Amino acid sequence: MSSEPFKVGLLGFGTVGSAFAELLEERAAEIERFNGRRPVLGGVLTRSRGNFEEILADADVVVELMGGLEPAREYLLAAMRAGKDVVSANKQLLSQYGEELFETARQHDVRLRFEAAVAGVVPVVRVLEESLSATPIERIHGIVNGTTNFILTEMSNGASYPEALKEAQRRGFAEADPSDDVTGRDAAAKMAILARLAFGTPVHLNDVRYEGIEHLHRDDLEYARELGLGLKLIGTAERRQGGLSVRVHPTFLYSGHPLAAVSGPFNAVTVESETITEITMSGPGAGGRQTASAVLGDVVSAMTGGARAPAPPLPLRLIEDVENAFYLHLDVADRPGVLAAVTQVLGEHDVSIKSVVQRGMGERARLVMVTHQVLESRLRTAIERVGEFEFVRSAPRIIRVIEEEFL
Ligand SMILES: NC(=O)c1ccc[n+]([C@@H]2O[C@H](COP(=O)([O-])OP(=O)(O)OC[C@H]3O[C@@H](n4cnc5c(N)ncnc54)[C@H](OP(=O)(O)O)[C@@H]3O)[C@@H](O)[C@H]2O)c1
């Protein structure tokens, strides 16, 4: 005699929800074969269909694919309080109410799974929670937003920012309103979640410093190429100065870095630790069916008793001002003495230069440099002074550089 079906209450039936329902049906027999129970769709909730209380009463697991903060938060809390395992793909919710959700999961001894909330299909949540749970992690670098990675890939092939954005929208990689992606806020939410998992300390979306890609120039990518660098929107969470720094910025990478080759709408995460050196995982960053596959993996994990909610939080200081190498772009008058004046000011602020490209363009010249590691506040003071020279023609631009190469 076969066991009872495992009922999935589904909240949300949009891009991911409908793809999830389809995939669930396709994979149900195989899941039953190795798992002994057949997952079946119970009730479905949208704005015009279904009743939450009835869906909850009937469900063995509740899957939230609505997005937004409310009522998603309220429904997930109610489901966990009723003793149900829950699955969500909602990065905004987890990056703002993660501690409340984790605490509720611990109190009611239920599972809260959220693989699809970070880095699309790349199984980084499970790797951090399970495979690397005993590894002291030093740093995570991630390309966790496929839209911006696609735009930057187009720009490195010669497109301007508006052209690249338009192409991303045409191919369905960017929403009509792309603000959350291009401002770096979506990536910041994902880095807050990753930082919590890797370092055990609560990180709210508001704790993450982030910068987007809207201000980038095609020029920057061209000069950087001459210096052997490629540009990515990189999220970083790392131990610094006895605390934790979590940030998202456009960042240059040397070609030997494992993230340098990740192009188009793909995501990737590199985890670094003395005990593992580094591990990089990459895969599609979004897409209904791809995301649905991560969600279904979470449902199976809930069925088979996968990892529990993260342990109670550890206190760790959040550090804002950190050292980095920087790319510096200056638009200056083309005349003798300019480079010497700039390097003198930089030197006075302990900013040392690793490489320089100088190109005359008639009356003006472009001065592009990569610095060695320097505290960001120190570099900003130096740049302010450089910006005061009368020979500087437009505001200096800086972009962070990751110096390490893994060969
Ligand atoms: N799309 C992706 O590739 C992707 C990738 C990773 C993670 N995610 C995450 O997955 C989640 C779902 O994304 P999506 O792209 O599938 O969204 P979507 O296409 O906008 O679908 C949202 C669904 O939720 C329902 N819904 C919204 N508010 C509701 C409410 N107050 N009450 C009842 N139902 C409500 C909508 O119902 P109506 O149809 O009635 O409006 C719709 O069925 C989000 O958290 C998103 O961040 C998406």
Homologous superfamily, domain 323-402:
ACT domain (3.30.70.260)
Q: What is the pLDDT of residue 405?
A: 67
Cα separation, 213 vs 250, in Å, equals 6
Cα separation, 35 vs 248, in Å, equals 40
Fold of 6-113: Rossmann fold (3.40.50)
Per-residue pLDDT for the chain (407 aa), expressed as one digit of tens each?
A: 458 999 999 999 999 999 999 999 999 999 999 889 999 999 999 999 999 999 999 999 999 999 999 999 999 999 999 999 999 999 999 999 999 999 999 999 999 999 999 998 899 999 999 999 999 999 999 999 999 999 999 999 999 999 999 999 999 888 889 999 999 999 999 999 999 999 999 999 999 999 999 999 888 888 888 888 899 999 999 999 889 999 999 999 998 899 999 999 999 999 999 999 999 999 998 889 999 999 999 999 999 987 778 888 888 899 999 999 999 999 999 999 999 999 999 999 999 999 998 888 788 999 999 999 999 999 999 999 999 999 999 999 999 999 876 65
Residue with the smallest CA separation from ligand 1 atom 8 is 89
Q: What is the pLDDT of residue 286?
A: 82
Distance (Å) from CA 181 to ligand 1 centroid: 16
Distance (Å) from CA 126 to ligand 1 centroid: 23
Q: What's the one-letter identity of residue 321?
A: D
Distance (Å) from CA 115 to ligand 1 centroid: 16
Q: What is the pLDDT of residue 305?
A: 85
Residue with the smallest CA separation from ligand 1 atom 18 is 14
284 forms beta bridges with: 266
b/e map 76-100, b = 16+ CB within 10 Å:
bbbbbeeebbbbbbbbbbbbbbbbe
Q: Where are the beta strands (DSSP E) in 179-276?
A: 209-210, 229-240, 243-254, 266-273
Distance (Å) from CA 67 to ligand 1 centroid: 5
Fold agreement between 6-113 and 124-284 = no
Residues 6+ apart with CB under 8 A from 153: 263, 264
Residues 6+ apart with CB under 8 A from 394: 331
User: Which one is catalytic: 84, 91, 190, 232?
Assistant: 190
Domains of the chain: which residue ranges? 6-113, 124-284, 323-402
Ligand 1: residues whose CB is within 6 Å?
12-17, 45-48, 65-68, 71, 89-91, 116, 120, 286-288, 291
Ligand 1 atom at minimum distance from 17 CA: 16
Q: What is the pLDDT of residue 407?
A: 54
pTM: 0.92
Angle (CA) 109 114 119, round 5°: 155
Residue with the smallest CA separation from ligand 1 atom 26 is 66
Of 178, 149, 351, the residue nearest 250 (C-alpha): 149
Active site residue 84: no
Q: What's the one-letter identity of residue 96?
A: Q
SS3 50: coil
Residues 6+ apart with CB under 8 A from 340: none
Distance (Å) from CA 291 to ligand 1 centroid: 12
Cα separation, 94 vs 96, in Å, equals 5
Q: What is the pLDDT of residue 358?
A: 87
Homologous superfamily, domain 124-284:
Dihydrodipicolinate Reductase; domain 2 (3.30.360.10)
Residue of 47, 63, 171, 289 best suited for mutating to test ligand 1, as the one with most atoms within 8 Å of CB = 47
